[in-house]
A and B are shown apart, each in its own frame.
Chain A
Amino acid sequence: MCLSIPSKVVEIDKEQNVATVDTMGIKRDASLDLMEDGDVKIGDYVLLHIGFIMNKIDEEDALASIDTYKEIISLMDEEEKQKAILEADECENRTL
């Protein structure tokens, strides 16, 4: 399911054109190659798809949507939680 949890940009490596993003506490890198130069800044909320930032999302929507995910995720056990957050931007086909 393309259940994409908004991630917050916490670091930008201009040289590599890669951002470090925080998805509900989990950090990972994502390519900025599909975004216009300078469009994404530290503190912005973004959505990811297979390792790329696909677009920005405004803060209010992002926070509202993160709240929903928190509710969903609070029902899971620890292992499920990690998995859900990491795989939230992927399709369930991956679990084939």
Chain B
Amino acid sequence: MGLELKNLYDDFRNADTIKAYQKIINEDAKGLTKPINIMEVCGGHTHTIMKYGIPQLLPNNINFIHGPGCPVCIMPKERIDHAYMLSMEEDVILVTLGDMIKVPGSNGSLQDARSKGADVRFVYSPMECLKIASENQDKKIIFFAIGFETTTPMTAALLDVVVKKGIKNIFFHINHVTVPEAMSLLISDENSKIDAFLGPSHVSVISGSKIYEEFPRDYNKPVVVSGFEPVDVMQSISMIVKQFIENRCELEIEYNRLVSHDGNIKAQNLNEKYFEQRSHFRWRGLGDIPKSALKLKDEYKEYDAEVIYKEILLSETIDDHKLCICGDILKGLANPPECSIFGTACKPSSPVGSCMVSSEGACAAYYKYGNLI
């Protein structure tokens, strides 16, 4: 969208609200005893923050740390290689969401697989697998499932239809990851500079705000669940600052017109029916995180492409380039321009690390909005 900060100020009712929050935050921030670093967990927020120049609106003692972002950028190469290898099977149609098109694995991306003749299809909704399956009865449809909590129940809903209708040619390769486990890892790092979290609203529309309860309670870090519009982000920052000056440490919901404490119970039940926690999962950039992803329960292994194709799917891990400092960026210990190959060997058209892969990764957002090009 060609929407810029200046339009926002010139033309929108929103602008007044933003300015009002800016004033409140500036006033309140004078009462802070030390600077605060706010991690926005989701790349959607990173995008809003960069696009609307929110850091420039804030006083110097409020900083952002760009978080792990997005289920696409954190997908380790070995998982993308799985998708690539499955798509190369003669009788397989590999189906996934459009987000995955260009993410490079060690042999290339799914787009590359397609140009080598693999049948890879990018869909808007997992439900499109049903049509593809019925039109291609002689083929095996493998849905390469990605996403945070927001997207997991949609995969479960597809599997539910597959099981109930007895569809025999749809299988699943599950890569759903969970946000709170990654946040715990980041906050437990002894070098962590995170003082508070901005939680993504869409995750909590499904999971409720309850998934963040441990952060104020066990780590003494406030969490505000925030919407994605600039006004939402400004309001959430204001709520965080207020917690600090009033010496509170709580879980709050900025987006309470949509997010509840409990979330969408039907969606959660579907998830529980079909998925269980993996003992661990490797996040690109962050490394191995205990219990941070889901897999199909054993009783559904007949649908599990990871089980069925065990023989051809390598289990070894593949690391990113040694110059890439994504890990530090995701932990808030470094900024993208500090990477020695930022903007040179690594750019959006030829990404090296996870933070450049997706348009919402911290490096990509800097590249696009940081006036550094």
Say whether A and B bind each other.
yes
Give the size range of A's interface with the partner: 20 to 34
B154 at the binding interface (Cβ < 8 Å): yes
Within residues 5 to 53 of chain A, which ones have a CB less than 8 A from any CB in chain B? 31, 33-36, 47, 49-52
Q: Answer whether A80 and B258 are a contact pair too, CB < 8 Å, given A50-B97, A51-B124.
A: no
When distances are taken between beta carbons in the complex, the residues of chain A under 8 Å from B102 are 96
CB distance from A5 to the nearest CB of B (A): 11
Report how many A-B pairs have Cβ atoms within 8 Å: 116
Q: Is the CB of A2 within 8 A of B44?
A: yes
Name the segment of B165-173, B197-205, B315-323 touching the other chain.
B197-205
List chain B residues, Cβ under 8 A from A93.
43, 70, 72, 99, 358-360
**In contact, B257 and A61 (Cβ under 8 angstroms):** yes
Residue contact B266 to A94, C-beta cutoff 8 Å: no
Q: Mark B357-369, 1 if CB is under 8 A from A, else 0.
A: 1111000000000
The residue of chain B having its C-beta at the shortest distance from the C-beta of A52 within the complex is B154
Q: Which residue numbers of B lie inside 8 Å of A, CB to CB?
A: 1-3, 7, 11-14, 42-44, 47-48, 70, 72, 97-99, 101-103, 124-128, 150-151, 153-154, 157, 160-161, 200-202, 205-206, 228-229, 257-258, 264, 266-267, 270, 357-360
Known contacts A50-B126, A51-B128, A54-B205; 6 further A-B pairs (Cβ under 8 A): A1-B228, A4-B202, A52-B154, A75-B11, A91-B43, A95-B359
Give residues in A with beta carbon < 8 Å to B.
Answer: 1-4, 31, 33-36, 47, 49-52, 54-55, 57-58, 61, 68, 71-72, 75-76, 80, 83-84, 90-96
